[in-house]
């Protein structure tokens, strides 16, 4: 026998399982797979546990926002283009499901290359070996000329680029071209020196800066209608666009005070990063809205979300 005293487990109190509060219930489980199930039925079959209902909640919020005349603003990094989401987003723009887009310079570059050439995303390692990384003539020419035109005419950079791409060979796969046709602002938020087109001799820092600053103010104006039921979504930008969104939110809180609140902030990314979760989810929650973070591949989550939106969009309003 041990020389040390042991706790007497007979003192423990127990309770019936049925009286205990359980967080997971069988009625919330996913439905079993069935052949021929529609996407809408599949999404409805997901478990009502953790993030199982989040995608449908976001889709419902988007449709409700548009039916109520509120804004749906989507920010996107370059990886969204490289995962083939151009036609998916164009379809949402055509339907009026998105009221404004904010993108970074990388997104604009990849979207321009898709519209012009039907291909993008060069081999960086090979380009560095040959000294030709980022040296595509057409890409730099259109982006830098677009900045110059935007500066001269008082346009946003995204506005100028969209007009140039409207009749491009692959305009149907371009978000910038689709937004131009739908009269939806796409704002481009550039960090000087971050994009391949800044290496070219025709790059004009003053023009790029002026056009991008105008885009920040266009975005801020478009975000005003988020208040009272809109949806703000960030797709795959970890740093630049979350910070842009934060400054736009701060500007609108400065002008409108507590009236600028009551909207959904949703962050989609393969890895949840600090800034995107803070600025799009936590900060929105902190000013009286609510936030959702979903983790996963863009090439899976975005088409699923878009299909859920379209299914609800086409259904009669309740």
Give residue 146's domain range.
Answer: 54-313
- The answer to the question of residue 27 being in a domain is no
HSE-up (13 A, CA, CB side) for residue 47:
10
- The answer to the question of residue 26 being in a domain is no
pTM listed for this prediction: 0.90
Taking 70 as the pLDDT cut, the residues of the chain under it are: 274, 316-318
- The answer to the question of residue 128 being in a domain is yes
Length of the chain: 318
| Torsion, CA 14, CA 17, CA 21, CA 24, rounded to 10 | 140
- The answer to the question of residue 305 being in a domain is yes
Q: Tokens standing for 41?
A: 């039925």
| pLDDT value at residue 37 | 85
Provide the number of structural domains found in the chain: 1
Q: To which H or E segment does residue 233 belong?
A: strand 231-235
Beta carbons within 8 Å of 151's beta carbon, 6+ residues apart: 204, 206, 207, 210, 211
Question: For residue 302, what is the domain's CATH number?
Answer: 3.40.910.10
Residue among 56, 310, 302 nearest 175 (CA): 302
- The answer to the question of residue 215 being in a domain is yes
For residue 266, the SS3 value is strand
- The answer to the question of residue 271 being in a domain is yes
- The answer to the question of residue 216 being in a domain is yes
- The answer to the question of residue 46 being in a domain is no
């Amino acid at each position: 026998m041990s020389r040390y005293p042991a706790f007497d487990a007979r003192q423990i109190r127990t309770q019936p399982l049925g009286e205990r509060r359980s967080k997971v219930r069988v009625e919330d489980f996913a439905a079993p797979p069935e052949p021929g199930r529609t996407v809408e039925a599949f999404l409805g079959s997901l478990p009502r546990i953790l993030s199982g209902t989040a995608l449908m909640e976001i889709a419902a919020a988007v449709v409700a926002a548009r039916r109520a005349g509120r804004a749906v603003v989507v920010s996107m990094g370059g990886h969204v283009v490289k995962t083939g989401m151009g036609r998916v987003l164009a379809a949402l723009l055509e339907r009026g499901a998105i009221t404004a887009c904010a993108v970074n310079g990388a997104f604009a570059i990849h979207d321009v290359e898709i519209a012009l050439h039907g291909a993008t995303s060069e081999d960086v390692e090979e380009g560095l070996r040959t000294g030709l990384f980022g040296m595509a003539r057409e890409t730099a020419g259109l982006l830098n000329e677009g900045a110059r035109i935007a500066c001269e005419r008082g346009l946003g950079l995204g506005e100028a680029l969209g007009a140039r791409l409207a009749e491009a060979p692959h305009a149907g796969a371009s978000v910038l071209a689709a937004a131009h046709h739908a009269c939806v602002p796409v704002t481009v938020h550039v960090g000087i020196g971050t994009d391949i087109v800044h290496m070219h001799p025709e790059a004009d820092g003053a023009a790029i800066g002026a056009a991008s600053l105008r885009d920040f103010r266009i975005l801020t104006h478009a975000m005003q209608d988020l208040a009272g039921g809109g949806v703000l979504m960030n797709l795959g930008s970890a740093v630049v666009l979350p910070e842009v969104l934060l400054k736009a939110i701060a500007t609108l809180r400065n002008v409108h005070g507590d009236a600028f609140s009551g909207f959904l902030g949703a962050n989609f990314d393969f890895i949840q990063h600090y800034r995107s979760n803070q600025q799009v989810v936590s900060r929105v929650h902190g000013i009286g809205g609510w936030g959702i973070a979903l983790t996963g591949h863009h090439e899976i989550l975005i088409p699923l979300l878009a299909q859920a939106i379209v299914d609800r969009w086409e259904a009669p309003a309740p």
